[in-house]
Amino acid sequence: MSGETTMTLESSFRRHSLALEYPFTITRGTQTDAEIVTVRIEDGDGTVGVGGAGPSAHYGETAATVEAVLPELLSVVEEIGDPHQLGRIERRIRETVNRNPAARTAVSIALHDLVTKRLDVPLYRYWGLDPTDTLETSYTIGLDDTETMREKTETALERGYNTLKVKLGTDRDIEIVETIRSVAPDVRLYVDANEAWTPREAVSRIDQLAEYDLEFVEQPVPAEDPEGLRYVYERSALPIAADESCITLEDIPQIADRCDVANLKLMKCGGLREAKRMIHAARAHGLQVMCGCMTESNASIAATCHLAPLLDYVDLDGALLLAEDPYEGVPMPGGEIDLAGLERAGTGARR
């Protein structure tokens, strides 16, 4: 017996333009909406798996490129015909489209949602994880004039968020952090320069920032300067997290002696199975692990939340930054990822 089960699978995808609550600015530019693509995979019994792509132009993807390759990826899924063959499907879709990780991620999430709904278990249970061993997501304060950043921080506190990430990369970085600390003295606080500093500038800036009780500094220098990252790591007064320098599994050994925290994102690495491999590889190299996101819908954020028991930090506020999300996800009261409060099978994403 082959042990294989084939069935008729039907798939489709849809593009959405979702407005952000506030314009979101980092050193590379300003975003006012999120262009996402959602995927549906339905089995013959009417069970539907949902996934989402939140592509980033910084990594060479847009909603249009996602739409362009999804027919090829979904044809592989329909041809194999067994959603439980997750490893086989992953290999085949990577052979079909080697790049386009956000598109592959949307398919990966939809399949995991479908499989766990068919088994009538939430995703964390399928993976054997403890739903009480979870984390609180950071809420990001994007770049703006200092007074507006202060006001956004006050709003975040009113909404119950106790972990904040602040975007930096300006000539007033110290002023920004000092202002935010003045109104939020007790929150856990990270900062993210998004590659904006030179190595020497980063070391000097971090020395000044160290007095503000920061958890870590994310991506202080350009990803194209790995020796610059090592220079900063060896001299930094604060822990260093690698984001743009950490894209796929192959990057983990390369950053292991250049940072303290590896920040993986599904939209960079190509899917849930690859994300789990990256987590284990980072652990083997003695790194702490964070999982971040792009500006995304719960069509993808919900699945990523199920990785929380494996992580040290989560930055999964992509859907929280939207003015309105057509999808519900995992409960996040005050940013706390409440997997135990998820009362349905699958990833938790639903319209």
Please check the confidence at residue 246 and state whether its pLDDT lies above 80: yes
| Residue 6 pLDDT | 78
| Residue 146 pLDDT | 97
Please check the confidence at residue 298 and state whether its pLDDT lies above 90: yes
| Residue 1 pLDDT | 33
Q: What is the largest distance, in Å, between two alpha-carbon atoms of the chain?
A: 68
Q: Which of 172, 187, 238 is nearest to 27 (CA)?
A: 172
- Helix (H) / strand (E) element for 241: namely strand 240-242
H-only helix segments in 84-172 = 86-96, 101-118, 123-126, 146-158
Give dist(CA 328, CA 342) in Å, integer.
11
Please check the confidence at residue 254 and state whether its pLDDT lies above 50: yes
> What percent of the chain is predicted at pLDDT more than 90?
97
Encode pLDDT of 69-94 as tens digits. Answer: 999 999 999 999 999 999 999 999 99
Please check the confidence at residue 115 and state whether its pLDDT lies above 90: yes
| Residue 2 pLDDT | 47
Please check the confidence at residue 3 and state whether its pLDDT lies above 60: no
Mean pLDDT of 211-215: 98
Please tell me which residue, 351 or 5, carries the higher pLDDT value. 351
H-only helix segments in the chain = 63-80, 86-96, 101-118, 123-126, 146-158, 173-183, 199-209, 226-235, 251-255, 266-269, 272-284, 298-305
Mean pLDDT of 313-341: 97
- Token pair in block for residue 96: 């079909």
Please check the confidence at residue 43 and state whether its pLDDT lies above 90: yes
Give dist(CA 329, CA 123) in Å, integer.
12
As beta bridge partners, residue 136 has 336
Q: For the whole model, what pTM was predicted?
A: 0.96
| Residue 5 pLDDT | 74
**Confidence tier at 4 by pLDDT (50, 70, 90):** low
Mean pLDDT of 225-231: 98
Please check the confidence at residue 198 and state whether its pLDDT lies above 70: yes
Tell me which fold the domain 125-341 belongs to: TIM Barrel (3.20.20)
- Alpha carbons within 13 angstroms on the beta-carbon side of residue 75 total 8
Decide if 10-122 and 125-341 have a common fold.
no
- Residue-range domain boundaries for the chain: 10-122, 125-341
Mean pLDDT in the chain?
Answer: 97
User: CATH 3.10.28.10: does it fit domain 10-122?
Assistant: no
